[in-house]
Amino acid sequence: MAASARLERMSQGRYRFVHSTEAGPRGTRGGLGLDVLDDYSGQRRPAKTLSGGESFLASLALALGLADVVGAGAVLDTLFIDEGFGTLDADTLDLVMTTLDELREGGRVVGLVSHVEELRQRIPTRLRVRKARTGSTLQLVTG
């Protein structure tokens, strides 16, 4: 599974997705049942037990894995990621940014929506949105 490979890489080998066959409320089944296998404990656990930053990694891995699979049969060269960066510690943010840099180097356009100050230093070209009573304005910032 492409998403599991992405998650394993971004979590430095700690997590990977595994299919869950657990029944939902009242014994219902449906949707994509995913748990994570935690290499630190060797235990399988529900994805909902991940911390905020870990959940962001899992969501990003699912999005990138989907883009990988879709991209194998069609052109999917633009990806936008909206928020979630504030939940990451410095090391995890570095891993995520390295992954996104690799996507850009591979020819994909990656757009990030964030208020995290550290990202301003890592992203050379930014579009700054300023809101005002008369409407929003855009400013292209390079360097």
What's this model's pTM, rounded to 2 decimal places? Answer: 0.67
Cβ–Cβ < 8 Å for 97, 72: no
How far apart are alpha carbons 35 and 79 in whole angstroms? Answer: 25
Residue 108 belongs to a domain with what CATH number?
Answer: 3.40.50.300
pLDDT in tens, 49-81: 999 889 989 988 988 888 777 766 666 667 777
Q: What's the CA dihedral at 10, 129, 109, 97 to 10 degrees?
A: -20
Task: Summarize the confidence of residues 42-46 as an average pLDDT.
Answer: 93
Helix/strand/coil percent split, the chain, to 5: 40, 25, 35
* Residue type at 135 in one-letter notation: G
Range of the structural domain that residue 60 is part of: 2-142
Count of structural domains, the chain: 1
pLDDT in tens, 89-105: 888 888 888 888 888 88
Give pLDDT, residue 39.
95
